[in-house]
Structure 1
Amino acid sequence: ARFPFNISQQGIRVFSPSFAIRRREPVVEVEDRVMPTGIPGLDELLQGGIPTGRTVIVSGVSGTGKTTAALQFLVTGALRGERGMIFSFEESADRLRRIANSFGWDLNALEEQGLIRVVFVPQTDISLDRDLEQMSNQLEEFRPQRLIVDSFSVFLYRVEDAATQREKTYLLATLVQRLGAVGLLISDVPADQPGRVSRFGVEETVVDGTIVLSSEMVNLQRRRYLEIIKMRAANHVTGRHRMEISARGLQVFYAATPQADELAEPVPLPFGALAPLLGTNLYHGGAWLLRGDPGAGKTTLAGQFIAAGLAAGGSALLLSNDVPVFRARRALLRVGIDVDAALAAGRLRILDGFSDEIGSGDPEAFLYRLAAAVAVMPRPLRVVIDSLTPQEVTFDAKAFAWLIHRKNRRYRLPDVTLFDVMRRGSDHVSADA
């Protein structure tokens, strides 16, 4: 038989036959369950998480959030009582702890509790077969449920032979599958080749999944994206999705479209101000559009629409784009709403469209954060946006039409009504009334 060996100052060392033999043993059956990543939005894309026993490449150019995603995945598991291990070939243990602390994650405390183990090997000290044996031994001893190799492309950087790259990737994936764990292999993509999904072009053919992080400049702002390229034998949402790196880590802007009961009866929608024109036989489930010139009374009518909903025992969400929240409150007071009481009862919420809470300059962020606000409001619900003019003048026609279509399609529900205010002459909007 042939076994790998290494020549050092201490002489020749042959790596253990048991390590080579274990590679050829049959792979154990993997538990039929998924492991949540802890990254909001990504677990929804994965329909719960990554299936156990899987190895996934997380790739992207420098600065796209790969190490942050890996640490978030590791810390999420530790907080659930799951052991995690990271083999780092770039960042020292102290550096990783500082990165984690910047997001509020106490990596050192989790290490002391025996939930996380950090193994740092400087790039200059990498010895492929020796380090693979060390990984195998430590995995066998620590038995982690979550494994990170950061970065896998640095680990293999001296290997030029594609067959060897593939073999070492397969070996590591086999070790992960044996444990019934989930492994994330971080892959650095060259900056001049952002379209690649891995460093060497062979790793993604061996592993079970590939997640690509990317970024681009749009209107002088850097926008980050995540895409699940593949997840073998697992349902997932395809396509590229906006994400951001916040003070709490990565967050993917994805929210599944609410599914309404096809047999559900729409809830009545009282609105006395327009009863002489529209009658009283109105119901939730539609999208209204109010257009007019400045000073024509659009904000007043929108306030009356909110007041009618609160008076009927419903709730309202007001997104104030044109004026600050204090002025929006005064406008609601003028139409007879007890604003403080409604806010205290949780039946009214006023959002500033220009705050970081909404992000009005990014259509995907806007829609995601609006969805998050709608999700926590009591029903029946009236959603008023006064107005959509900032979005119309900021986004190009295609992006604005996409935003309106997605918003209206998502919330045409039996207990929700949308009420958009816009200036006269807006042509990119569809509505029911």
Structure 2
Amino acid sequence: MGLSTGCERLDELLGGGVPDKRSLLVSGPPGTGKTTLGMQFLEAGLDAGEDCLFVSTEQTVDELEDTFEPYPFDLGHEGLTVITVHCEPGDTMERDDDLVVRTLEGGDRAVAEWFDLPFTRENVVHYLSEYGPKDRILLDSLSGLRPIAADEVSFWRSTYDLIRLFSDTFDATSLLTAEDGGTGDGVASDLLRYATHGVIELSSVERANQRHTFLRVGKLRGRDHDTRRHKLVLGADGATVQPTQRTPPSELLGHDHLSTGIDALDGLLGGGLVRGGFTLLSHDGTTGYYAINARMLASAIEAGMAAAVALPAEVSLSRLDRYWSDTDWTVEGLLDDDRLFVLELAESNGDDHRNVLTYDEEERDWRRLSECCYERSGDRPLFAFVDTEPLLEQVSRQRVRDVRYHAAAHHTDEDDIVVYTINPAVQDTSLVEFLVDTSRQTIRIERGDDGIEWLTLRKSPTGSPGTSTVVAYDETPPYVDLV
């Protein structure tokens, strides 16, 4: 798959380490750990018996030794070559005030002493070409080579030449670091990011007077990689990335799941909907979220559960049948078999079946739905789906809280599942917060200005909280997928 960075979790974020014979750019503000991360990459190669090259453009060897003093890195390892390339005023054969290539104190002495090489792209590439082939290369940093070119495009070309030298001539896998102040004042420009195969972005955040460094894989061509932000910790053993997982270990929780009917969503949730719990699906009113709900209902019925549904205003019973065109059942058949129970809160669908209830304030309100389901469905576990928007037009917010607690305390068994949908933009903030707080899982679906529909897992005891994916619809069942 690739070469290890020396950090197991970072290898996982990269989808299997650094791609072989490719280049990664590590960008970030000063002091965020770019050099340490790069040296750890080299150290992993040395431990595997590989030949490594460290090119420093800003520090002497003595300064590097001071930098790495807290870490278990060995600059004197027989498999490691350390050279310095520095741009400074000096004497060339043409002029006495040209910028020249010069090694820093303690670096390799390959440059002839009787004159300095002009600081050009060709001379830097020629100078470095003497040190191949290598298995791994760290160039720290590109910021020190910025005077090599007069403009950004020329600098991109120079960087590209170095990458080709490392990848094609040396057959090496390389890490290149660059300053990025987060305000456009660094050299890690969009052009430079384009030149490399992947980009690892470092950033820092101040919280309670403490500085925290974070890492994110911003780009990696041809790899299914994790794009979430993680904490970068620099300790006695080098760089580690936390958290290694964002939910407690499954053996501590013992959750049982029901498939949502959408494989990609099951993967995001860590197996599906958590049984015995309450899932909140939050939306912005512009999405086709009910296609996902219809898949969840179909999966529950396929698993032998009874379904209790409080329909949103725009969904009729006949529309449910259209969502279930690939199944062996119909709405009418499920009603007759006491496997489907419907509460119509907005308007009647014209069905006078005994399991189709309408809201009536005189008859103990919508709690009748779950009670009716438990009374008539036998021993089947319950899948309850409640759309809260029409509900809140009829029922007080306090009543919603009372019913939610009543259902949890008296009805919801370990095999049951309850799903609510809510649109925070049109509903009371305290109620939204209440439902988020009491949920086991919270899923957010929203549409951007460009029409792209996003699904984000915001809360879950399993799976990948914080992960977002794009919702895609199809003309054939199951009609919806995540990509």
TM-score w.r.t. the length of structure 1 is 0.50
Q: Which has the higher helix share?
A: 1
TM-score w.r.t. the length of structure 2 is 0.45
Q: Which has the larger radius of gyration?
A: 2
